[in-house]
Amino acid sequence: MQIQGKVALVTGGAQGLGYAFVQALLDKEAKVSFCDINANQGEATLKQLADKYGPDNVMFQRCDVTSQEEMEALFKATKERYGQIDIVCNNAGTGGETYPQWEKVVDVNIKGMTRGSFIAFEYLRNDKGGNGGVIINISSAAGLSVNPMSPVYCATKTAIISLTRSLAVNEDVQKCGIRINALCPSFADTNLVKNISPFSLHDDEQTKSENSAKVTKFLNFHGIMATETVAESFLELVTDETKNGAVLRVSKGKGNEYCKIEVSV
């Protein structure tokens, strides 16, 4: 897919990886609509991007991906402004391993991703006035392995991969001209990574100190990527029309690795 002239929608786009994806798309001369739950950060990011790329090429709308109504309004507003939607990046995600945070992690990471995918189908499908297109769901390397420090986060990211792969091989989705892929970054330079709070059954100060040391050691071992590096891998999944149902892991040490996952049909 050639990105120039296309319209993209990115959730969680005000900062972190989402911001890197938005900027990468704008660099390729797409028009981009992005949302974020943080309205102040979103407006600040919009001003920055509008000054650089032009106010006609980017829009922001505050949106909570756990709300069906707000997500539908986001897609509708994007279509009304730009006339079409060709690329959807379901990026919004969060972390947290204790109650009530873990419930929000499930709501945002799984339900939000599912909601974004299903609404995207209605706008992209070429049997209902869309042009076809591509959906990129942002999972994580954590979805491809087990991590005792983040069991809930890992579970949600594994679910995203399964959702994406299953939809990609669905005949109805394929007949509508839609590709759908999963991007699985390892640690990147984002607030989510900086604020990792590992799961533990104990909350005493000694345990917290030990867990903090474990996190530091774990991050140092795997390395932390620049968000721009992840954005390059994102663009690969968008532009390569041979990629459907792809699961692309990207890490500082090994770069891009496509993961083979069995299909049961």
Q: What is the pLDDT at residue 217?
A: 63
**b/e 1-40 (16+ beta carbons within 10 angstroms → b):** bebeebbbbbbbbbbbbbbbbbbbbbebebbbbbbbbeee
Which candidate in 53, 99, 153, 258 is catalytic? 153
Q: In the chain, what is the straight-line distance between the N-terminal and C-terminal CA atoms, in Å? A: 28
Mean per-residue pLDDT, 69-82: 98
Length of the chain: 265
pLDDT at 191: 73
Q: Are 76 and 61 in contact (CB under 8 A)?
A: no
Give the per-residue pLDDT at 177: 97
Phi and psi at 214, nearest 5°, equal -65, -40
Does residue 211 register a pLDDT over 60? no
Give the pLDDT band (50/70/90) at residue 265: low
What pLDDT is recorded for position 147?
82
Q: Which residue has the higher pLDDT, 244 or 187?
A: 244
Q: Is the pLDDT of residue 242 over 60?
A: yes
Nearest to 26 by CA among 43, 50, 44, 42: 50
Say how far residue 91 (Cα) sits from the centre of its chain: 2
CA distance 102 to 104: 5
The structure tokens listed for 220 are 């140092």
Per the annotation, the verdict on 123 as an active-site residue is: no
Give the ranges where the chain is alpha helix by DSSP (H): 16-27, 39-53, 68-82, 101-106, 113-124, 151-168, 171-175, 191-194, 205-222, 227-239
